[in-house]
């Protein structure tokens, strides 16, 4: 108990090094006061500790940039640090699922993106828009169609004709197969009754590699949002044929809309803030107000304008209605048999693992049959003490199990002390090492670097 | 073509106009006569060294964490800070690699085993001195190439479609087999295949279909390579130290000295590199820039290819040759950083995750990267070049200091150091995504790494397989989709054909060496 309290003090106080020379009793008094003080503080106000903002996409992308800007301004608004965590992977499944399953204490926010309305239609993710408490929509970027500057197609109508008369499929890309840009293109073809087979969607990691592919003549058409291709349009390398919306994009007013060219089709991606369900209503209102205030600020507007993101702000309730409608629309496209067919790749998902397995068996066979036994270093297996290793593995596994409940500081102290004691370090040394290393690590990661570690019983 | 008109701006040979001189003078005043900028660079260097030295924290993360601060800086300072912190983070990734065999980046994984072998011979400090000077050389070489050849090189990047990337990845993967020492080649192949197989776990990027997830949502994100790398190298090293301890005894593993560190030794090694390894330095610098500028290839492949090129003929017991091979690899991965800026500045297509953030920061400052930047914002472009060189120079004293301090830390008694390494392994892998799943991944890879390395399997290829497995499959399927499923599409483009031949040559080399070794073994036996 005493040692954990000590850790608490060390983690909240820079002056721990000064305290080291005080005698034990005075130290205890200081401890008790500090712990009580921290306890009182926590009960009175909310939020009292750092807020985590989950971003389902990787650092450096558009969503990440919006998240980080939001975090910086929310920090001022809420008075506590707001840390962005990139919960990437699985085409957005990981981040969105974590956002829905987070503890409903209001300390975890999610920057949701349009994929939320698409993943569940493909059976990839059980969460839908209804698994959240929407807090506010921030932006909406319409899809647009790009071709190379030397391309023969000048208008959307030219491209439609090309799709209609295509003898060989036209190579199209923009992002992964089944992504919002793929859906935008497929929806357009469906809407205009164009043959689905004439567009050969080449799945890629995102708009940047697709545009690179367009320049390298690997594909002929790219479908993505305007800001993603803005640089290449300015450079005169690619040309935008039209934007899939009813109104022109304010940041690129020279680009005609699909509607102007006689095609009634609009679709776009959006970003918005979400809470997991079950957060108490006063906290929801506090957060919703903070987000609305940030979104309305000049600073945020300037950021969005400069980054080329199209602002489209609305509150939680309206956002919810928007999501419900969008979900129905997307469902209608994504469940089309033609759309499902389009997602066929030339190699089955199991091709690669099977190929690797076969190669492994061949390599292993060749290796074992040509092995020269004399050369193999004699590992002194008898000397090896696996017991230590098993204990260490068990200790780390136990750490992983209890981390979320007891918090980083306690769990790491326990792990460290047990490992040190296992290695027969003297008790005094154990105390010194644990009391210095754990708070310092916690401080370095959680406070200086803004990487949130679980707080649990102790820590901030 | 509009492209030609601005490629000239990058190349002073095309004509030093009056504008150009003005821009250069302004850039020099912008950069050199500003004490606050110097302070920023020094602070960023310390930050970069710290972040890079902690396994689990990456250069990308350092930059992403810095973005909020960049809001209230001017564009030159912001860029200077980013360039410096990334250069320093990439170097300081070598600190844990060499001292503790925990690679900070996949690029360092290329030489983790070889470097640690030298460490056990007491050469850690000397090797780090060399890594530092080679990183600096690489960084400056990269900056110079960015300056004079940027426009021309960007044109090469434009030629790379999915098919070319596919072959490039094949070459990179083959290099992992090429660097493995004789006799263990089939083990390297198996390690590589294991890495590739592990990379297929999770939601496939191309098919958007779950594989080997067994219905567990946590497995959808797949095995992230950073926790896997920390486990494979770091934790497994802890395990093998623990395993050597006798039951009931204190761990008294002989403490390997990290050797004496002397600046004169470092300078001597540097001089030696310039006298006797000019070709190696130039080759790895060029490889670094060219591979680094290809979006999605980056420093990792550059380091592996450069290391393979230098390492192939070196017997494992030739220390000085091994040191030089490691030096080549560090040169390449630092040069690759500058390479990543080429497509970013010329096309606005990020060369790696760091430049993706840089583009964001530039746009925030109302600077749109692209050909126009060379005309409208010429002073800024020259400032970026200057900052690249400056950052690498500042890295020298700070890097030396970091090597000293690192040397102190690893002098701790083993029984204290081992738990500390465990703590850092865990915290680093958790911090990456804030996910416990990554901690479990790290733990399991640690156990796997322990058993594999005791059986003589190299661990580097597993990491490379994990990193490149996903993109390899993606590019293969993209190429096949574009060619309507015909395998001929993989060699239909001239550049793809050339790269395919290069890959075939690498494999011929591998099999030839294997056959030769087998014959030698037979005659000897």
What gap in Å lies between CA A257 and CA A428, rounded to an integer? 73
Confidence of residue A10 (pLDDT cuts 50, 70, 90): very low
Mutate to test the interface with A, among B423, B476, B515 (most CBs of A within 10 A): B423
Most confident of B163-167, B183-187, B249-253: B163-167
Residue A292 pLDDT level (bands cut at 50, 70, 90): very high
Fold of A141-268: D-Maltodextrin-Binding Protein; domain 2 (3.40.190)
Q: Give the model confidence (pLDDT) of B493-502 as tens digits.
A: 889 999 999 9
Q: How far is the C-alpha of A316 from the C-alpha of B267, rounded, in Å? A: 63
Mean pLDDT (whole number) for A214-233: 88
Contact B250 A58 (CB under 8 A): no
**Could you tell me which residues are beta bridge partners of residue A112?**
A272
- Which of A212, A251, A383, A440 is the best substitution to test chain B (most B C-beta atoms within 10 A)? A212
| Residue whose pair of structure tokens reads 């102190």 in the numeric block | B408
Q: For an interface test with B, which of A120, A174, A203 has the most B Cβ atoms less than 10 Å from its Cβ? A: A203
Closest CA in chain B for residue A416: B419
The first and second tokens of residue B460, run together, are 């580097």
Which residues on chain B are in Cβ contact (under 8 Å) with A222?
A: none
Instruction: Give the pLDDT band of residue B523 (cuts 50, 70, 90).
Output: low
Confidence of residue A89 (pLDDT cuts 50, 70, 90): confident
CA end-to-end span of chain B, whole Å?
A: 65
How far apart are the two ends of chain A, measured CA to CA in Å?
18
pLDDT band at A18 (very low <50, low <70, confident <90, very high): very low
* Top-confidence residue, A124 or A263: A263
Distance CA B273, CA B141 (A): 14
CB A50 within 8 A of CB A82: yes
Please give the average per-residue pLDDT across A24-50, as a whole number: 56
> Cβ A208–B159 below 8 Å, yes or no?
no
In angstroms, the CA B265 to CA B230 distance is 31
The per-residue pLDDT for A294 is: 94
B64 pLDDT above the threshold of 80: no
Q: Do A60 and B419 touch (CB under 8 A)?
A: no
Distance from CA of A385 to the nearest CA of B (A): 4
User: Distance from B3 to chain A by nearest Cα, in Å?
Assistant: 8
**Residues on chain A touching B203 (C-beta within 8 angstroms):** 89-91, 93, 124
Chain A CB contacts of B169 under 8 Å are: none
Q: Binning pLDDT at 50, 70 and 90, where does residue A296 land?
A: very high
State residue A459's pLDDT score.
58
User: pLDDT at residue A13 above 60?
Assistant: no
Pairing of strands A133-148, A238-243: antiparallel
Least confidently predicted of A302-306, A444-448, B416-420: A444-448
Question: Which residues is A199 bridged to in the sheet?
Answer: A170
Give the Cα separation of B391 and B385 in Å (integer). Answer: 10
Average per-residue pLDDT for chain A: 82
Look at A394-403, B265-274, B421-430 and tell me which has the smallest mean pLDDT.
B265-274
Please give the Cα distance from A56 to A59 (Å, whole number). 10
The more confidently predicted of residues B130 and B259 is B130
Domain-wise residue ranges, chain A: 141-268, 386-448
- What CA–CA distance (Å, rounded) separates B380 from B386? 10
pLDDT at B3: 38
Of A49 and A145, the structure prediction assigns the larger pLDDT to A145
**Does the pLDDT at position A371 exceed 80?**
no
pTM of the shown model: 0.80
Nearest to B396 by CA among B128, B101, B75: B128
Rounded to an integer, what distance in angstroms lies between the CA atom of residue A407 and that of residue A385?
Answer: 32
Question: In degrees to the nearest 10, what's the CA dihedral of B400, B404, B405, B409?
Answer: 140
C-alpha R_g of chain A: 28
**Residue of B220, B370, B427 lying closest to A234 (CB–CB):** B370
pLDDT of residue A286: 93
């Amino acid at each position: 108990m005493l040692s954990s309290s000590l850790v608490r003090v060390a983690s909240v106080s820079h002056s721990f090094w000064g305290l080291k020379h005080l005698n034990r009793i005075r130290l205890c008094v200081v401890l008790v006061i500090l712990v009580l003080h921290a306890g009182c503080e926590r009960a009175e106000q909310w939020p009292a500790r750092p807020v985590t903002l989950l971003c389902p996409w990787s650092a450096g992308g558009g969503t990440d940039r919006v998240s980080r800007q939001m975090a910086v301004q929310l920090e001022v608004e809420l008075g506590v640090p707001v840390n962005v965590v990139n919960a990437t992977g699985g085409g957005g499944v990981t981040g969105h699922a974590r956002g829905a399953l987070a503890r409903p204490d209001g300390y975890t926010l999610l920057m949701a993106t349009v994929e939320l309305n698409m993943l569940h239609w493909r059976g990839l993710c059980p969460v839908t828009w209804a698994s959240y408490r929407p807090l506010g929509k921030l932006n909406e970027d319409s899809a647009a169609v790009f071709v190379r500057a030397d391309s023969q197609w000048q208008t959307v109508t030219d491209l439609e004709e090309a799709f209609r008369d295509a003898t060989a499929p036209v190579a199209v890309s923009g992002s992964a197969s089944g992504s919002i840009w793929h859906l935008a293109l497929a929806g357009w073809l469906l809407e205009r009754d164009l043959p689905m087979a004439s567009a050969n969607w080449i799945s890629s990691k995102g708009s940047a590699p697709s545009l690179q592919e367009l320049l390298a003549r690997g594909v002929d058409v790219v479908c993505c949002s305007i800001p993603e291709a803005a640089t290449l349009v300015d450079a005169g390398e690619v040309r935008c044929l039209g934007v899939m919306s009813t109104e022109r994009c304010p940041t690129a007013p020279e680009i005609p809309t699909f509607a102007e060219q006689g095609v009634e089709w609009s679709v776009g991606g959006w970003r918005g803030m979400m809470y997991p369900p079950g957060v108490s209503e006063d906290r929801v209102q506090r957060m919703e107000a903070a987000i609305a205030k940030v979104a309305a600020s000049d600073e945020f507007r300037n950021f969005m304008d400069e980054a080329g993101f199209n602002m489209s702000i609305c509150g939680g309730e309206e956002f919810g209605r928007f999501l419900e409608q969008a979900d129905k629309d997307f469902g209608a496209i994504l469940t089309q048999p033609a759309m499902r067919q389009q997602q066929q790749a030339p190699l089955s998902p199991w091709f690669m693992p099977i190929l690797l397995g076969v190669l492994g068996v061949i390599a292993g066979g060749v290796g074992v049959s040509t092995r020269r036994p004399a050369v193999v270093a004699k590992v002194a297996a008898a000397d090896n003490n696996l017991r230590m290793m098993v204990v260490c593995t068990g200790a780390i596994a136990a750490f992983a199990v209890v981390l979320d409940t007891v918090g980083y500081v306690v769990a790491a102290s326990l792990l460290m002390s047990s490992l040190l004691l296992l290695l027969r370090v003297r008790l005094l040394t154990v105390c010194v090492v644990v009391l210095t290393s754990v708070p310092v690590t916690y401080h370095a990661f959680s406070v200086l670097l803004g990487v949130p570690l679980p707080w649990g019983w102790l820590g901030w | 073509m509009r492209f030609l008109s601005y490629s000239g701006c990058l190349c002073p040979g095309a004509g030093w106009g009056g504008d150009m001189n003005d821009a250069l003078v302004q850039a020099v005043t912008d950069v050199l006569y500003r004490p606050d900028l110097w302070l920023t660079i020094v602070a960023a260097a310390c930050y970069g060294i710290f972040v890079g030295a902690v396994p689990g924290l990456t250069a990308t993360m350092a930059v992403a964490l810095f973005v909020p601060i960049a809001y209230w800086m001017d564009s030159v300072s912001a860029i200077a800070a980013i360039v410096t912190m990334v250069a320093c983070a990439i170097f300081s990734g070598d600190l844990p690699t060499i001292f503790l065999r925990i690679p900070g980046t996949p690029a360092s994984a290329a030489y983790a085993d070889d470097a640690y072998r030298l460490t056990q011979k007491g050469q850690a400090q000397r090797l780090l001195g060399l890594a530092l000077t080679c990183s600096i050389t690489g960084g400056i070489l990269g900056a110079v190439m960015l300056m004079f050849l940027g426009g021309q090189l960007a044109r090469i990047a434009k030629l790379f479609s999915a098919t070319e990337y596919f072959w490039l990845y094949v070459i990179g993967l083959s290099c992992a087999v090429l660097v493995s020492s004789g006799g263990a080649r089939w083990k390297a192949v198996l390690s590589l295949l294991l890495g590739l197989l592990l990379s297929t776990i999770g939601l496939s990027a191309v098919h958007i279909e779950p594989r080997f997830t067994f219905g567990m949502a946590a497995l959808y994100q797949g095995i992230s390579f950073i926790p896997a790398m920390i486990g494979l190298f770091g934790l497994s090293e802890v395990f093998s130290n623990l395993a050597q301890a006798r039951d009931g005894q204190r761990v008294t593993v002989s403490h390997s000295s990290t050797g004496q560190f002397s600046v004169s030794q470092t300078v001597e090694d540097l001089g030696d590199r310039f006298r006797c390894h000019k070709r190696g330095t130039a080759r790895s610098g060029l490889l670094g820039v060219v591979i680094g500028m290809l979006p999605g290839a980056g420093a990792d492949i550059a380091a592996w290819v450069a290391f393979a090129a230098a390492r192939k003929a070196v017997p494992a017991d030739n220390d000085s040759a091994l040191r030089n091979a490691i030096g080549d690899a560090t040169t390449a991965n630092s040069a690759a950083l500058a390479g990543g800026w080429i497509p970013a500045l010329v096309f606005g297509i990020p060369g790696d995750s760091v430049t993706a953030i840089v583009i964001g920061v530039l746009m925030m400052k109302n600077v749109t990267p692209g050909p126009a930047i060379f005309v409208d914002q010429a002073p800024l472009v020259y400032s970026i070049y200057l900052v690249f060189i400056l950052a690498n120079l500042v890295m020298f004293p700070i890097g030396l200091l970091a090597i000293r301090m690192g040397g102190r830390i690893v002098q701790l008694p083993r029984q204290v150091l081992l738990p500390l390494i465990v703590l850092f392994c865990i915290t680093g892998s958790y911090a990456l995504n804030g996910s416990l799943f990554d901690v479990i991944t790290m733990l399991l890879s640690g156990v796997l790494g322990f058993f594999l390395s005791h059986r003589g399997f190299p661990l580097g290829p597993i990491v490379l397989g994990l990193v490149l497995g996903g993109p390899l499959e993606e590019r293969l399927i993209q190429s096949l989709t574009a060619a309507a499923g015909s395998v001929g599409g993989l060699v239909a483009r001239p550049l793809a054909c050339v790269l395919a031949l290069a890959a075939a040559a690498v494999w011929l080399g591998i099999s030839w060496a294997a056959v030769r070794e087998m014959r030698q073994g037979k005659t000897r036996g």
